């Protein structure tokens, strides 16, 4: 049946979020097809890009040592279209604080993805989302985070 393939696609998307939040460019590249296309549209931004190198570079630049963030996907609806193609819908909840700009963003999105099996492994081939809601706040006082993974990783890349 398709349950194993669906589980593999779920793990693929979970890895994508982890690689994003930990600024792991090599990991991020490993879950995308060479011809990946993204179209992420929020209330205050629109990221659109094609090609793995371009997408990884753009996303990696957004996740710097002065960013705190977490992306959580849930409620997957995955359809296996063929032996090497699948589609998925996800709900995302996210939170980010850019300490450089003092901007806090939180919200939720509806993802629509297309997946391709490349050399026996599922990869994200197309990904887009639209916001269900987005809340952007200019902070007067920066939060006092007692732990910040990306800041720690900037000084110790082995973590």
d(CA 118, CA 30): 11
124-154 pLDDT, tens per residue?
999 999 999 999 999 999 899 999 999 998 8
List phi, psi (to 5°) of 6: -60, -40
Domains of the chain: 3-155 (3.10.450.50)
List phi, psi (to 5°) of 62: -75, -20
- What average pLDDT does this structure show over 58-78? 93
Rounded to whole angstroms, what are the CA distances from 106 to 43, 103, 157? Answer: 11, 10, 27
82-135 pLDDT, tens per residue?
999 999 999 999 999 999 999 999 999 999 999 999 999 999 999 999 999 999
d(CA 28, CA 101): 25
Q: Where are the alpha helices (DSSP H) in 22-135?
A: 25-30, 52-62
């Amino acid at each position: 049946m398709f349950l194993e393939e669906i589980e593999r696609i779920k793990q693929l998307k979970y890895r994508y979020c982890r690689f994003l939040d930990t600024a792991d460019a090599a990991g991020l590249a490993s879950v995308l097809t060479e011809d990946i296309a993204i179209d992420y549209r929020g209330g205050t931004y629109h990221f659109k890009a094609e090609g793995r190198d371009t997408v990884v570079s753009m996303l990696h630049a957004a996740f710097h040592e002065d960013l705190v963030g977490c992306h959580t996907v849930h409620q997957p609806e995955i359809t296996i279209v063929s032996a090497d193609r699948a589609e998925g819908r996800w709900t995302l909840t996210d939170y980010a604080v850019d300490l450089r700009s003092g901007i806090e963003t939180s919200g939720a999105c509806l993802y629509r993805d297309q997946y391709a099996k490349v050399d026996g492994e599922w990869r994200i081939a197309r990904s887009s989302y639209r916001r269900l809601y987005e809340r952007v706040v200019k902070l007067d006082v920066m939060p006092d985070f007692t732990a910040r993974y990306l800041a720690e990783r900037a000084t110790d890349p082995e973590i």
